[in-house]
Structure 1
C-alpha cells in the first residue's frame, strides 16, 4: 500500500502522476495481479497493489508534488471471503 499527500492545491496533479507515471511503470511486471487507486480528503492519493511474489516498489513522485514524504506499508493476506 502506497499513500501520498499532495502539496497544497496539487492533488489533481499527484493523481494524474500516479496514472501517467507510477502505474505504467508497474504494468506488465511479473507477479502484478491488481491495482486500485483511491483519493481522500486532504489531497491524498492511495495506491494498493496485489502481487504473486515479491512486489516492485512504487516510485516516488516529483518532490514538488508532495506535501510530506510518501508512506508505504506491506501486508500479507490472511483471510478472504
Structure 2
C-alpha cells in the first residue's frame, strides 16, 4: 500500500523563503519513496512524502518549525492510495 503524508505550514508575512529553506534542510530518519516540496501564496509551504507502508504505520514526519517562524501550528494529513 502507498501512504502519502502531507505537511503544511504558513510562515509569518515575508518569511516564506526562510520557512522554505528550513523545510528543505529537514532530514527524515528514513527515506520515503518520494518527497516533494511546494509553495503557495501567503508564504505557505507544503511537503508531501510517499511511503510503501500500511496506513497506520509509524512513519517519520517533519517536525514543527520554531513558533517565531510560523503563524500557526503545522497542518498534517495522511492519505492512502486507491489507484
The match for 1:51 is 51
TM-score of the pair, normalised by structure 2? 0.82
In structure 2, the partner of 1:17 is: 22
Q: Which has the higher strand share?
A: 2
Q: Which position in structure 2 is the counterpart of 1:65?
A: 69
Which is helix-richer, 1 or 2?
A: 1
**TM-score, normalised with respect to structure 1:** 0.84
In structure 2, the partner of 1:29 is 30
4+ runs deviating over 2 angstroms: none
- Tell me the matched-pair count: 74
Gaps of 5+ in 1: none
Once superposed, what is the RMSD of the aligned Cα atoms?
Answer: 1.3
Q: 63-72 or 52-61: which moved more? A: 52-61
